[in-house]
Chain A
Amino acid sequence: MPDRRSQTPSRVTVEDLLHMKRTERPPPEFWAGFEQELRQKQLAALVERRSWWHGPAATFNRFGWLRLPFGATAVLAVTLVSIRHYSASDRYRDEPRGVVSGEKAALPTKTLKNLAEFKPVKSARAAPQSMTSDVEVIPKSSESGFVASDALRESSQQFAAPVRHGEELHDPAETSGFGPLVASPAIQLGSPGDVDSIPVEATAHLGGFEDRSISTLRPHRVAEALPTAVAVTEQRRSRLLAALGSAGTYTPEPSAPEHAKRSVIRYLAEDGWDRSISRLQADADRLSIRF
């Protein structure tokens, strides 16, 4: 194919115009200054102090070929952890469980309203495996609430928490049903009058349980349930009581799912709920009850 330009020498193409750009060159003196500047910059670059992260970055780059196996391992680990986490959540969903963490400080000021704020654990991993439901257990309460006793914490022989139908626990000298419970190896509660039934109308403004009424909840029944619901050995019972006493009050686990909270409160609201306890376990800061 003949060259078109040779046929028409006067023809100018884009390529010709672009070739003209080759002639856009700096004058020769430019290069003397260029070289001088370059030397200065080179020296400056040599003495420049490198940032601290240059070292780790260089090391990381040196082992760049390990990125793939490390990345794959990380992805695998995350996947396994996720699967384990979700399978635990599924198992938890099958059984109603609630966990109430111990709150040691605010002893006599808790009311029954707080009970309804029970919130079950978010997942089974949050509680020991033997726990399925942690419930606020307060040895003696006023009419509107359970109140854990300082006397228990002090491992006193006599539980002396006041029981009043009031907002607060006013008189620690009053006895409650846990006094004998603590004192007696046979787990006897105090007189029925001491631990009389606590009409629990506190249902409103309770997190997650607003629509549900807890008709009757007697805190001493938790203690009553100790010998019946669990094969309680002397050692175990002591430990449970110590755990009960070590926590002033039990407040609900805030992260529990809604359905679990409902299940727990349903159990608690039923008469004879304590008979359905199949297991009771206390830990340092929480009490678990399996229904």
Chain B
Amino acid sequence: MICFNSMAFTKALSKTLVMTPERQQEADSDWEVVRRVQAGDVAAFDKLMRKYRERIYSVIYNLCANREDAADLTQGTFIKTFQSINRFQGQSSFFTWLYRIGVNATLTHLRKNRLRTFFSFEQFTEEEKSSEIIDALTDKTGADRAAFVKELQEKLNEALQKLSIKHRTVVTLFEIDGLSHDEIAEIVGCSVGTVRSRLHYAKLLLQAELQSYLR
């Protein structure tokens, strides 16, 4: 019976997404955990939550540009996922389903609070990659460098917030979270072509906004 379910799940996935082997392996392991949760092992849900909380938070945070809202929406996403996990039948991978819940909740939140926007951002944590970029942008050091990084962050977030919700979603999922076009199309509920088009348009807008930082 388990083999049958597993096969059906893999078949359903192959219909919807062409996944890399890593993604496939990840989806299979998620499905196992989901089945445990559906069987009544509530603690198994914590495993899923810990695995995806940072990514979900990151996506929601970049969409709504508010730390507090992002935390609330991430918690709400996991609660909703937990409540409806019995309805999950493995038609898509768990993380796609989870992302869809999170993105939809965020979009609903943003539409409801369109006129009431407060921004609060996390700090940049300078990692190797971002250090290289900052080095390429400036040769300042010390406090000047920190001020430059802060200014860059503000400009970047400002430019992102100028995008429409749809374009911001695609950019966030592709460039920041690193999902594929197929996965984004499934999460957002549109065609891959639409995703590519939105992405292209969004990048043009961002280029125009961040022209002074592009070298």
Contact B58 A13 (CB under 8 A): no
Chain A residues with Cβ below 8 Å from B213 are 12, 17
For residue A10, CB closer than 8 A to chain B, the reply is yes
* In the complex, per-residue mask of B104-133: 1 if CB is within 8 Å of any chain A CB, else 0: 000000000000000001111111011001
Does B83 sit at the interface, judged by CB under 8 A?
yes
In the assembled complex, the CB of B158 is this many whole angstroms from the nearest CB of chain A, namely 12
Contact with A41, one of B49, B79, B121 (Cβ below 8 angstroms): B79
**A1-44 residues at the B interface, CB under 8 angstroms:** 9-26, 30-31, 34-35, 37-38, 41-42
- In the complex the two chains form, is A42's CB within 8 Å of B79's CB? yes
* Dominant SS among interface residues on chain B: helix
**Complex Cα gap A11–B124 (Å):** 21
Determine which residue in A12, A13, A41 has the highest number of CB atoms from chain B within 10 A of its CB, and name it: A12
Cross-chain contact B136 with A45 (CB below 8 angstroms): no
List of B residues within 8 angstroms of A16 by Cβ: 133
Chain B 151-163: CB-based contact to A (< 8 A → 1; otherwise 0): 0110010001000
Query: Chain A contacts of B127 at CB under 8 A?
Result: 23
B171-215 CB mask vs A (1 if < 8 Å, else 0) is: 100011000000000000000000000000001001100100111
B54 within 8 A of A: yes
Question: Given the complex of chains A and B, what is the CA–CA distance between A26 and B203 in angstroms?
Answer: 26
Which among A13, A23, A35, A41 has the greatest number of chain B C-beta atoms within 10 A?
A23
- A-B contacts counted at CB < 8 A amount to 97
Please, how many residues of chain B have a CB less than 8 angstroms from a CB on the other chain? 43
Secondary structure at the A interface, as helix, strand, loop or mixed, is helix
Tell me whether B92 is interfacial, beta carbon within 8 Å.
Answer: no
A255 to chain B, nearest CB (A): 47
Known: A23-B130, A24-B153. A18 touches B82 (CB 8 A): no
Whether the pair B122, A26 counts as a contact (CB closer than 8 A) is yes
B133: contacting residue among A12, A24, A25, A37, CB under 8 A: A12
Total interface residues on A, using CB and 8 Å? 27
Do A24 and B123 form a contact, CB below 8 Å, given A10-B136, A19-B176, A45-B83? Answer: yes
Q: Which residue of A has the minimal Cβ distance to B156?
A: A17
Cβ of B75 and Cβ of A23 under 8 Å apart? no
Look across to chain A and name the residue whose beta carbon is closest to the beta carbon of B67.
A26
Query: Is A19 a contact partner of B53 (Cβ separation < 8 A)?
Result: no
* A14/B214 contact (C-beta < 8 A), A19-B129, A21-B156 known: yes
Does B95 make an interface contact (CB < 8 A)? no
B156 touches A34 (CB 8 A): no
Q: Which residues of A contact B82 (CB under 8 A)?
A: 42
**B57 touches A (CB below 8 Å):** yes
| CA distance in complex: A37, B76 (Å) | 11
Question: CA A16 – CA B134 in complex, angstroms?
Answer: 10
Chain B residues, Cβ within 8 Å of A13:
214
Chain A residues with CB below 8 A from B79, complex form: 38, 41-42, 45
If A34-B75, A38-B75, A38-B78 touch, whether A20 touches B130 (CB-CB below 8 Å) is yes
| 15 A-B interface contacts by CB (under 8 A) | A14-B214, A17-B156, A18-B171, A22-B58, A23-B129, A23-B130, A25-B54, A26-B57, A31-B53, A34-B71, A34-B75, A38-B49, A41-B75, A41-B76, A45-B79
The 7 closest A-B pairs by CB, nearest first: A18-B175, A24-B122, A10-B136, A20-B130, A38-B75, A23-B125, A14-B206
Residues of A within 8 A of B (CB): 9-26, 30-31, 34-35, 37-38, 41-42, 45
